[in-house]
Amino acid sequence: MQARGKFIVIEGLEGAGKSTAVSIVSQAITQAGHLLANTREPGGTPMAEAIRECVKHDWANEKVTVEAELLLMYAARAQLIQNVILPRLEAGSWVLGDRHDLSSRAYQGGGRQISCEMIESLRNITLGGFEPDFTLYLDVEPIEGLKRAKGRGELDRIEQEDLSFFERTRARYLELAQQDPNCVIINTMQDIDRVHQDILAAIHHYLGK
Ligand code: T5A
Protein backbone atom coordinates (compact mmCIF):
# COMPACT_ATOMS: atom_id res chain seq x y z
CA MET A 1 0.00 0.00 0.00
CA GLN A 2 1.15 3.53 -0.86
CA ALA A 3 2.50 5.38 2.25
CA ARG A 4 0.66 8.60 3.06
CA GLY A 5 2.57 11.75 2.08
CA LYS A 6 3.66 14.47 4.50
CA PHE A 7 2.23 17.97 4.81
CA ILE A 8 4.94 20.61 5.26
CA VAL A 9 4.10 24.29 5.82
CA ILE A 10 6.03 27.56 5.54
CA GLU A 11 4.71 30.37 7.71
CA GLY A 12 5.64 33.96 8.50
CA LEU A 13 4.72 37.62 8.22
CA GLU A 14 4.78 39.51 4.91
CA GLY A 15 8.35 39.90 3.69
CA ALA A 16 9.63 37.01 5.85
CA GLY A 17 10.96 35.33 2.70
CA LYS A 18 8.38 32.56 2.27
CA SER A 19 8.68 32.50 -1.54
CA THR A 20 12.39 31.67 -1.44
CA ALA A 21 11.88 29.20 1.41
CA VAL A 22 9.21 27.43 -0.67
CA SER A 23 11.66 26.93 -3.54
CA ILE A 24 14.48 25.73 -1.25
CA VAL A 25 12.22 23.27 0.57
CA SER A 26 10.52 22.09 -2.67
CA GLN A 27 13.90 21.24 -4.14
CA ALA A 28 15.02 19.35 -1.03
CA ILE A 29 11.81 17.29 -0.94
CA THR A 30 11.89 16.36 -4.62
CA GLN A 31 15.62 15.56 -4.44
CA ALA A 32 14.75 13.16 -1.62
CA GLY A 33 12.58 11.34 -4.18
CA HIS A 34 9.10 12.44 -3.14
CA LEU A 35 6.32 13.64 -5.43
CA LEU A 36 5.34 17.16 -4.37
CA ALA A 37 2.29 19.39 -4.73
CA ASN A 38 2.54 23.07 -3.79
CA THR A 39 -0.35 25.01 -2.27
CA ARG A 40 -0.88 28.53 -0.98
CA GLU A 41 -3.44 29.92 1.45
CA PRO A 42 -5.81 31.48 1.09
CA GLY A 43 -6.07 29.89 -2.35
CA GLY A 44 -5.04 26.75 -4.17
CA THR A 45 -8.37 25.82 -5.84
CA PRO A 46 -10.39 27.98 -8.28
CA MET A 47 -12.93 28.87 -5.60
CA ALA A 48 -10.30 29.41 -2.89
CA GLU A 49 -8.34 31.67 -5.29
CA ALA A 50 -11.52 33.75 -5.75
CA ILE A 51 -11.79 34.00 -1.95
CA ARG A 52 -8.13 35.10 -1.86
CA GLU A 53 -8.87 37.96 -4.27
CA CYS A 54 -11.91 38.91 -2.21
CA VAL A 55 -10.10 38.88 1.12
CA LYS A 56 -7.07 40.85 -0.11
CA HIS A 57 -9.20 43.41 -1.97
CA ASP A 58 -9.60 46.88 -0.46
CA TRP A 59 -13.40 47.37 -0.36
CA ALA A 60 -13.05 51.15 0.14
CA ASN A 61 -16.16 52.31 2.03
CA GLU A 62 -17.29 48.84 3.10
CA LYS A 63 -15.48 47.76 6.26
CA VAL A 64 -14.50 44.10 6.14
CA THR A 65 -15.54 42.74 9.52
CA VAL A 66 -13.09 40.58 11.45
CA GLU A 67 -15.71 37.81 11.48
CA ALA A 68 -16.13 37.89 7.67
CA GLU A 69 -12.35 37.79 7.22
CA LEU A 70 -12.03 34.82 9.58
CA LEU A 71 -14.87 32.88 7.92
CA LEU A 72 -13.43 33.50 4.45
CA MET A 73 -10.02 32.16 5.52
CA TYR A 74 -11.64 28.96 6.80
CA ALA A 75 -13.95 28.66 3.77
CA ALA A 76 -10.89 28.78 1.50
CA ARG A 77 -9.09 26.28 3.75
CA ALA A 78 -12.01 23.84 3.68
CA GLN A 79 -11.99 23.90 -0.13
CA LEU A 80 -8.24 23.35 -0.28
CA ILE A 81 -8.08 20.57 2.29
CA GLN A 82 -10.93 18.49 0.86
CA ASN A 83 -10.12 19.02 -2.83
CA VAL A 84 -6.33 19.10 -2.88
CA ILE A 85 -4.38 18.45 0.31
CA LEU A 86 -6.04 15.28 1.61
CA PRO A 87 -6.39 13.57 -1.81
CA ARG A 88 -2.74 14.27 -2.61
CA LEU A 89 -1.51 13.01 0.76
CA GLU A 90 -3.62 9.86 0.45
CA ALA A 91 -2.12 9.27 -3.02
CA GLY A 92 1.35 9.33 -1.44
CA SER A 93 2.42 12.77 -2.67
CA TRP A 94 3.91 15.30 -0.26
CA VAL A 95 2.28 18.72 -0.02
CA LEU A 96 4.13 21.97 0.68
CA GLY A 97 1.90 24.79 1.87
CA ASP A 98 2.73 28.48 1.63
CA ARG A 99 0.75 29.33 4.81
CA HIS A 100 -1.90 27.21 6.55
CA ASP A 101 -3.87 27.29 9.78
CA LEU A 102 -1.13 28.91 11.88
CA SER A 103 -1.69 32.05 9.76
CA SER A 104 -5.31 32.30 10.96
CA ARG A 105 -4.33 31.73 14.57
CA ALA A 106 -1.64 34.44 14.30
CA TYR A 107 -3.34 37.06 12.05
CA GLN A 108 -6.97 36.65 13.11
CA GLY A 109 -6.27 35.43 16.66
CA GLY A 110 -3.29 37.68 17.44
CA GLY A 111 -3.59 40.57 14.98
CA ARG A 112 -7.39 40.88 14.94
CA GLN A 113 -7.75 39.70 18.55
CA ILE A 114 -10.52 37.20 17.79
CA SER A 115 -11.13 34.88 20.73
CA CYS A 116 -9.39 31.51 20.86
CA GLU A 117 -12.80 29.85 21.40
CA MET A 118 -14.18 31.19 18.12
CA ILE A 119 -11.08 30.15 16.18
CA GLU A 120 -11.01 26.76 17.90
CA SER A 121 -14.59 26.01 16.85
CA LEU A 122 -13.79 26.80 13.20
CA ARG A 123 -10.61 24.73 13.40
CA ASN A 124 -12.63 21.78 14.66
CA ILE A 125 -15.20 22.12 11.87
CA THR A 126 -12.64 22.65 9.10
CA LEU A 127 -9.66 20.58 10.17
CA GLY A 128 -11.06 17.99 12.55
CA GLY A 129 -7.61 17.47 14.10
CA PHE A 130 -5.69 17.56 10.79
CA GLU A 131 -2.28 19.23 11.32
CA PRO A 132 0.93 19.77 9.35
CA ASP A 133 3.63 17.16 9.88
CA PHE A 134 6.30 19.86 9.93
CA THR A 135 6.24 23.67 9.94
CA LEU A 136 8.99 26.19 9.28
CA TYR A 137 8.12 29.54 10.83
CA LEU A 138 10.19 32.36 9.34
CA ASP A 139 10.48 35.02 11.99
CA VAL A 140 10.93 38.64 10.94
CA GLU A 141 10.54 41.93 12.78
CA PRO A 142 7.36 43.50 11.34
CA ILE A 143 9.06 46.78 10.46
CA GLU A 144 11.67 44.94 8.39
CA GLY A 145 9.15 42.55 6.78
CA LEU A 146 6.87 45.41 5.77
CA LYS A 147 9.83 47.32 4.35
CA ARG A 148 10.65 44.28 2.17
CA ALA A 149 6.98 43.86 1.17
CA LYS A 150 6.73 47.57 0.25
CA GLY A 151 9.85 47.21 -1.90
CA ARG A 152 7.90 44.70 -3.98
CA GLY A 153 5.04 47.05 -4.90
CA GLU A 154 1.52 47.99 -3.88
CA LEU A 155 0.22 46.78 -0.51
CA ASP A 156 -3.03 44.78 -0.25
CA ARG A 157 -5.79 45.40 2.33
CA ILE A 158 -4.15 43.37 5.11
CA GLU A 159 -0.65 44.71 4.41
CA GLN A 160 -2.01 48.23 4.98
CA GLU A 161 -2.70 47.51 8.67
CA ASP A 162 -0.68 49.47 11.22
CA LEU A 163 2.49 48.20 12.83
CA SER A 164 0.78 47.17 16.08
CA PHE A 165 -1.38 44.68 14.13
CA PHE A 166 1.76 42.95 12.79
CA GLU A 167 3.43 43.09 16.20
CA ARG A 168 0.48 41.25 17.75
CA THR A 169 0.49 38.79 14.84
CA ARG A 170 4.21 38.09 15.24
CA ALA A 171 3.89 37.68 19.02
CA ARG A 172 1.13 35.06 18.54
CA TYR A 173 3.15 33.32 15.82
CA LEU A 174 6.14 33.05 18.15
CA GLU A 175 4.04 31.85 21.07
CA LEU A 176 2.39 29.10 18.99
CA ALA A 177 5.58 28.11 17.15
CA GLN A 178 7.45 27.70 20.45
CA GLN A 179 4.70 25.40 21.77
CA ASP A 180 4.70 23.15 18.69
CA PRO A 181 7.27 20.33 18.77
CA ASN A 182 6.86 19.94 14.99
CA CYS A 183 7.76 23.56 14.25
CA VAL A 184 11.20 25.08 13.69
CA ILE A 185 11.73 28.83 14.00
CA ILE A 186 14.08 30.43 11.47
CA ASN A 187 15.56 33.84 12.28
CA THR A 188 15.32 35.79 9.00
CA MET A 189 16.94 38.91 10.42
CA GLN A 190 20.36 37.47 9.60
CA ASP A 191 22.36 37.57 6.40
CA ILE A 192 20.20 36.09 3.60
CA ASP A 193 22.70 33.28 2.83
CA ARG A 194 22.66 32.24 6.48
CA VAL A 195 18.83 32.23 6.43
CA HIS A 196 18.86 29.94 3.40
CA GLN A 197 21.41 27.61 5.07
CA ASP A 198 19.23 27.41 8.19
CA ILE A 199 16.15 26.56 6.08
CA LEU A 200 18.06 23.85 4.24
CA ALA A 201 19.47 22.41 7.46
CA ALA A 202 16.00 22.28 9.04
CA ILE A 203 14.38 20.48 6.11
CA HIS A 204 17.31 18.07 5.72
CA HIS A 205 17.08 17.27 9.41
CA TYR A 206 13.36 16.57 9.00
CA LEU A 207 13.91 14.45 5.88
CA GLY A 208 16.62 12.49 7.67
CA LYS A 209 14.21 11.45 10.43
N1 T5A B 1 -3.75 35.67 5.92
C2 T5A B 1 -3.53 34.46 5.31
C3 T5A B 1 -4.53 35.77 7.07
O4 T5A B 1 -4.75 36.87 7.58
N5 T5A B 1 -5.04 34.63 7.61
C6 T5A B 1 -4.86 33.40 7.05
O7 T5A B 1 -5.38 32.39 7.57
C8 T5A B 1 -4.07 33.31 5.86
C9 T5A B 1 -3.85 31.99 5.22
C10 T5A B 1 -1.87 36.44 2.25
C11 T5A B 1 -2.39 37.46 3.21
O12 T5A B 1 -3.46 36.87 3.92
C13 T5A B 1 -3.20 36.89 5.31
C14 T5A B 1 -1.72 37.04 5.44
C15 T5A B 1 -1.35 37.88 4.24
O16 T5A B 1 -1.54 39.23 4.57
P17 T5A B 1 0.28 36.30 0.81
O18 T5A B 1 0.55 36.98 -0.46
O19 T5A B 1 0.19 34.84 0.82
O20 T5A B 1 -1.00 37.03 1.41
O21 T5A B 1 1.31 36.54 1.92
P22 T5A B 1 2.42 37.59 2.00
O23 T5A B 1 2.99 37.43 3.34
O24 T5A B 1 1.87 38.93 1.63
O25 T5A B 1 3.46 37.10 0.95
P26 T5A B 1 4.75 37.86 0.71
O27 T5A B 1 5.06 37.50 -0.71
O28 T5A B 1 4.71 39.29 1.09
O29 T5A B 1 5.73 37.26 1.75
P30 T5A B 1 6.98 36.42 1.52
O31 T5A B 1 6.67 35.36 0.49
O32 T5A B 1 7.39 35.94 2.86
O33 T5A B 1 8.01 37.45 1.00
P34 T5A B 1 9.01 37.25 -0.19
O35 T5A B 1 9.67 35.93 -0.13
O36 T5A B 1 8.33 37.63 -1.46
O37 T5A B 1 10.06 38.35 0.22
C38 T5A B 1 9.75 39.69 0.06
C39 T5A B 1 11.00 40.44 -0.36
O40 T5A B 1 11.96 40.40 0.70
C41 T5A B 1 13.21 39.91 0.22
C42 T5A B 1 12.86 39.07 -1.00
O43 T5A B 1 13.95 38.99 -1.88
C44 T5A B 1 11.68 39.83 -1.58
O45 T5A B 1 12.10 40.88 -2.40
N46 T5A B 1 13.80 39.11 1.30
C47 T5A B 1 14.89 39.44 1.99
N48 T5A B 1 15.70 40.50 1.95
C49 T5A B 1 16.74 40.53 2.82
N50 T5A B 1 16.99 39.57 3.74
C51 T5A B 1 16.20 38.48 3.83
N52 T5A B 1 16.46 37.52 4.76
C53 T5A B 1 15.10 38.39 2.94
N54 T5A B 1 14.11 37.47 2.76
C55 T5A B 1 13.32 37.94 1.75
Kindly state if the Cβ of 105 falls inside 6 Å of ligand 1: no
The residues that bridge with 37 in the sheet, in sequence order, are 95
Which atom of ligand 1 lies nearest, measured to the CA of 101?
7
Q: pTM for this one? A: 0.95
Which atom of ligand 1 lies nearest, measured to the CA of 169?
4
How far does residue 159's CA lie from ligand 1's centre (Å)?
10
Query: What confidence tier does 88 reach under pLDDT thresholds 50, 70, 90?
Result: very high
Residue 197 amino acid letter: Q
Span 154-196, pLDDT tens digits:
889 999 999 999 999 999 999 999 999 999 999 999 999 999 9
Which atom of ligand 1 lies nearest, measured to the CA of 99?
9
How far lies 71's CA from each of 51, 112, 118, 126, 166, in Å? Answer: 10, 13, 10, 11, 20
Query: Is residue 1 scored above 80 in pLDDT?
Result: no
Kindly state if the Cβ of 101 falls inside 6 Å of ligand 1: no
The residue-averaged pLDDT of 34-60 equals: 97
Span 12-37, pLDDT tens digits:
999 999 999 999 999 999 999 999 99
